[in-house]
Structure 1
Amino acid sequence: MHELSWKSEYKIGHPLIDREHKHLFEIALEAFVPVAPELRKKKIRKTILELNEYMKLHFMHEESFMRVIEYPDFNHHLLIHQGIIKKMQDLIANLASIGIKEFEKDLAHFIEVALVGHILQEDTKIQKYYEKKKSQRHVIHWHSSYLVGQEDIDNEHQMLFKIANEAFADSELTIHKEKVKETIIKLALYVQKHFDHEESYMLEIGYPQLKHHCEIHGKIIDQMNQFIKEITTMDIQAFELELAIFIEKWIVQHILHEDKKIKHFLDKGDDIQIINLEEI
Structure 2
Amino acid sequence: MNAKIDSCYISIWSNAYSIGDEKIDAEHQRLFDIANELNVCTNKIHLTTILKELIKYTKFHFANEERFMRELNFSRLAEHKVLHQNLVEALNEVLKKISTQDMEETIFQLSILVNKNILQHILIEDKKVHHEIKPREHLRERFKWNIEYQLKNQLLDEEHEQLFNIALKSLNYHGTNIKTHVKITVNELYEYMKTHFNHEEEYLVQIGYPLLEEHRAIHENIIEQMNAFIKKLPTLSIINFEKKLIEYMDIWLINHILYEDRKIISFVQSNQS
Superposition TM-score tier, normalisation by shorter sequence = 0.5 to 0.7
Q: Deviations over 1:132-159 (max 9, x none)?
A: 7236782632222222232222211111
Partner SS state of residue 211, structure 1:
helix
Q: 1:77 aligned to 2:79?
A: no
1:153-168 → structure 2 map (5 Å cutoff): 153-168=156-171
Cα deviation for residue 220 of structure 1 reads 0.3
1:196 aligns with: 198
For the Cα contact (< 8 Å) 1:77–1:122, is it kept in 2?
A: no
2-structure distance, mates of 1:113, 1:202:
41
For the Cα contact (< 8 Å) 2:170–2:186, is it kept in 1?
A: yes
Q: Deviations over 1:19-61 (max 9, x none)?
A: xxxxxxxxxxxxxxxxxxxxxxxxxxxxxxxxxxxxxxxxxxx
- Greater Rg by CA: 1
1-structure distance, mates of 2:252, 2:129:
22
For the Cα contact (< 8 Å) 2:145–2:161, is it kept in 1?
A: yes
2-structure distance, mates of 1:248, 1:131:
15
Structure 1: which amino acid aligns with 2:183? K
1:70-219 → structure 2 map (5 Å cutoff): 71=20, 74-80=21-27, 113=63, 117-121=67-71, 133-134=135-136, 138=140, 140-172=143-175, 175-219=177-221
Cα deviation for residue 242 of structure 1 reads 1.3
Structure 2: which amino acid aligns with 1:255? I
1-structure distance, mates of 2:208, 2:184:
36
2-structure distance, mates of 1:262, 1:131:
33
1:239 aligns with: 241
Structure-2 change in CA distance of 1:226 and 1:200 (3 Å)? same
2-structure distance, mates of 1:241, 1:157:
20
2:225 aligns with: 223
2-structure distance, mates of 1:92, 1:115:
16
The total of aligned residue pairs comes to 184
2-structure distance, mates of 1:137, 1:143:
14
Question: Structure 2: which 5+ runs fail to align?
Answer: 1-15, 35-50, 75-127
Structure-2 change in CA distance of 1:145 and 1:118 (3 Å)? closer
Partner SS state of residue 138, structure 1:
helix
2-structure distance, mates of 1:128, 1:149:
28
Q: Deviations over 1:46-95 (max 9, x none)?
A: xxxxxxxxxxxxxxxxx98x84xxx4xx1212345678999xx869989x
2-structure distance, mates of 1:137, 1:92:
31
What is the TM-score of this pair, normalised by structure 2?
0.56
What is the TM-score of this pair, normalised by structure 1?
0.54
2-structure distance, mates of 1:212, 1:128:
29
1-structure distance, mates of 2:192, 2:265:
22
2:253 aligns with: 251
Structure-2 change in CA distance of 1:261 and 1:185 (3 Å)? same
Q: RCO (CA 8 Å, sep 6+): is it higher in 1 or 2?
A: 2
Structure-2 change in CA distance of 1:154 and 1:82 (3 Å)? closer
* RMSD (Å), alpha carbons: 3.8
1-structure distance, mates of 2:134, 2:183:
25
Moved more, 113-122 or 227-236: 113-122
Partner SS state of residue 140, structure 2:
coil
Structure-2 change in CA distance of 1:132 and 1:258 (3 Å)? closer
1-structure distance, mates of 2:237, 2:268:
44
Question: Structure 1: which 5+ runs fail to align?
Answer: 1-62, 95-108, 271-280
For the Cα contact (< 8 Å) 2:222–2:252, is it kept in 1?
A: yes
